[in-house]
Amino acid sequence: MGNKINVLMVCLGNICRSPMAEAVFQDLINQAGLSDQFQIDSAGTARYHVGEPAHIGTRQTLAQHGITYMGKARQVTASELSAVDYIMAMDSENLSDLKALTRDRTIKERIHLLLEFAPSRSNKDVPDPYYTGNFENVYQIVKDGCAGLLKHILAL
């Protein structure tokens, strides 16, 4: 796990929701002056979009909020999980797919739904804008989750 707090945002394709969460969390960390203490990344459970930039809707919405995102989609690997402190699933399907990658209980305990940390959100799944087209809504939801996650980590 190293010195830095390692956070991995995970969705299905790694082009819509998890890049949004990665970029928003990185932005919060930068604003808080904590960038040297965190290592933040994202990945997808599926491989359909590996190598592609984030969805134009994700990039445009981030840009509207002053955030540039340059990441490329990749698929999560079982072996990388042992080095991650917070493995954050965007929805319950991502959560179960991630848990199926490992039999290690200590790793399973590090896998959470992002919106577990957003008490104001009753629906704990981040809606998939690949289907809804509503990227601004996803930005707002993910921002709540990221703010809650940061608050949780800083309170430890």
- Contacts with ligand 4NP, residue ranges (CB under 6 A): 11-17, 48-49, 128, 130
- Shortest approach of ligand 4NP to residue 41 CB, angstroms? 14
Backbone angles phi, psi at 109, to 5 degrees: -70, -15
Q: Which of 74, 85, 121, 128 is catalytic?
A: 128
- For ligand 4NP, give the closer residue by CB, 35 or 99: 99
Contact 27, 63 (CB under 8 A): no
Q: Give residue number: closest CB to ligand 4NP.
A: 13
74 is catalytic: no
Our answer to whether residue 125 is catalytic in this structure is no
Would you say 12 or 150 has its CB closer to ligand 4NP?
Answer: 12
For the bound state, the minimum distance from the C-beta of residue 109 to ligand 4NP, rounded and expressed in Å, comes to 24
Q: How far is the CB of 145 from ligand 4NP (least distance, A)?
A: 14
Catalytic residue among 16, 17, 27, 91: 17
Output 124 or 153, the one with its CB closest to ligand 4NP: 124
Told to judge if 27 belongs to the known catalytic residues of this protein, a careful annotator would answer no
Q: How far is the CB of 73 from ligand 4NP (least distance, A)?
A: 8
Specify the residue, 15 or 107, whose C-beta has the smaller distance to ligand 4NP: 15
SS (H, E, C) the chain: CCCCEEEEEEECCCCCHHHHHHHHHHHHHHHCCCHHHEEEEEEECCCCCCCCECCHHHHHHHHHCCCCCCCECCECCCHHHHHCCEEEECCHHHHHHHHCCCCCHHHHCCEEEHHHHCCCCCCCCCCCHHHHCCHHHHHHHHHHHHHHHHHHHHHC
| Residues labelled catalytic | 11, 17, 128
